């Protein structure tokens, strides 16, 4: 299945879940007598039955298509099976209470609770990509911009933090990078929906996962290089040693690129050539 077809199916799946989930939420709120009190419970349940079925049907069919495309990613995922178990409990809740509108408040409360759990299970714990995008990338950008060789009308000179607050902010950013090795412990690389639009050069989530699982020792070794470089940079920050900091930041950049070349875009020939020229090794 091509990336474009996968993304189209994923868009249908997400949209149908949003439709179905919104209608379920409206029904549950009425059952709990929290909202939509202008309508009877029977009117809400019966009036929303058809669009709920449409949303559910589209969600199930698109979900099955996504599953068939990459079953190995789901079969080995405990969160996927937790979501399936919760969905079965929802079916049981419907059969026991909602169908005959018996004990509507209990039915609505259980439904709301179970659907919330389904959403949490569907999301699962943060992946390496999630943490990279939310923590590591912003910190890395700040670190790389903190010390630079600048050339202007006054000649070449270094740009570096000046105030105590700027040095402290840089230190905090570096501490995040220093903790990066813990990100690989028990985390998925990325979700299936995080598929690359450039598969010729960038690896897909399942390919990254296989590369990580094939040699966890190598993953730790590469991550350790980033940790060590960040630790040296922290020492340079504490000593207000700008030249040492600049050297450490260069090591951080090379450690990041080394990992990216091995797991993210191993087939990018231009990136590999540039890395070779910059002295990046072990990719």
Q: Residue 239: its pLDDT value, please? A: 94
Residues 66 and 83 sit within 8 Å (Cβ to Cβ): no
CATH class of the region 128-278 = mainly alpha
Cα separation, 16 vs 60, in Å, equals 9
Residues 73 and 206 sit within 8 Å (Cβ to Cβ): yes
Which parts of the chain have pLDDT scores under 50?
none
State both tokens at 217: 């020792």
40-88 pLDDT per residue, tens: 877 887 888 888 888 888 988 988 887 887 676 667 667 778 888 888 8
Residues 48 and 37 sit within 8 Å (Cβ to Cβ): no
Q: Residue 108: its pLDDT value, please? A: 77
Q: Residue 123: its pLDDT value, please? A: 64
- CA-CA distances (angstroms) from residue 55 to 52, 201, 246? 5, 36, 55
Going by C-alpha positions, the residue among 268, 271, 269, 262 that lies closest to residue 214 is 262
Residues 212 and 263 sit within 8 Å (Cβ to Cβ): yes
Question: Hey, is 99 helix, strand or coil?
Answer: coil
Cα separation, 135 vs 128, in Å, equals 10
Q: Residue 72: its pLDDT value, please? A: 63
To the question of pTM greater than 0.85 for the whole model, the response is no
124-154 pLDDT per residue, tens: 667 788 778 778 888 888 899 888 777 767 7
Q: Residue 1: its pLDDT value, please? A: 55
Q: Residue 115: its pLDDT value, please? A: 80
């Amino acid at each position: 299945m091509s990336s474009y077809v996968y993304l189209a199916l994923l868009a249908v799946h997400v949209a149908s879940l949003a439709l179905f989930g919104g209608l379920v939420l409206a029904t549950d709120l009425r059952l709990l007598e929290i909202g939509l009190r202008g309508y009877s419970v029977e009117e809400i349940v019966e009036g929303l039955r058809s669009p709920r079925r449409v949303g559910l049907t589209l969600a199930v069919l698109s979900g099955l298509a996504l599953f068939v495309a990459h079953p190995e990613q789901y079969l080995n995922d405990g969160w996927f099976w937790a979501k399936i178990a919760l969905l079965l409990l929802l079916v049981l809740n419907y059969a026991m209470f909602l169908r005959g509108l018996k004990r509507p408040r209990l039915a609505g409360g259980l439904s709301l609770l179970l659907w919330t759990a389904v959403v949490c299970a569907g999301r699962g714990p943060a992946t390496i990509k999630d943490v990279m995008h939310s923590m590591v990338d912003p910190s890395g950008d700040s670190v790389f911009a903190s010390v630079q060789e600048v050339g202007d009308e006054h000649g070449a000179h270094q740009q570096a933090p000046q105030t105590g607050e700027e040095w402290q902010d840089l230190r905090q950013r570096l501490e995040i990078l220093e903790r990066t090795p813990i990100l690989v412990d028990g985390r998925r690389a990325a979700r299936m929906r995080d598929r690359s639009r450039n598969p010729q050069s960038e690896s897909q989530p399942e390919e990254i996962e296989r590369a990580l699982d094939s040699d966890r020792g190598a993953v730790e070794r590469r991550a350790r290089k980033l940790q060590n470089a960040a630790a040296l940079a922290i020492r340079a920050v504490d000593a207000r040693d700008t030249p040492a900091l600049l050297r450490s930041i260069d090591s951080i950049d090379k450690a990041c690129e080394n990992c990216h070349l091995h797991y993210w875009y191993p087939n990018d020939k231009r990136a590999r050539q540039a890395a070779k020229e910059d002295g990046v090794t072990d990719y």
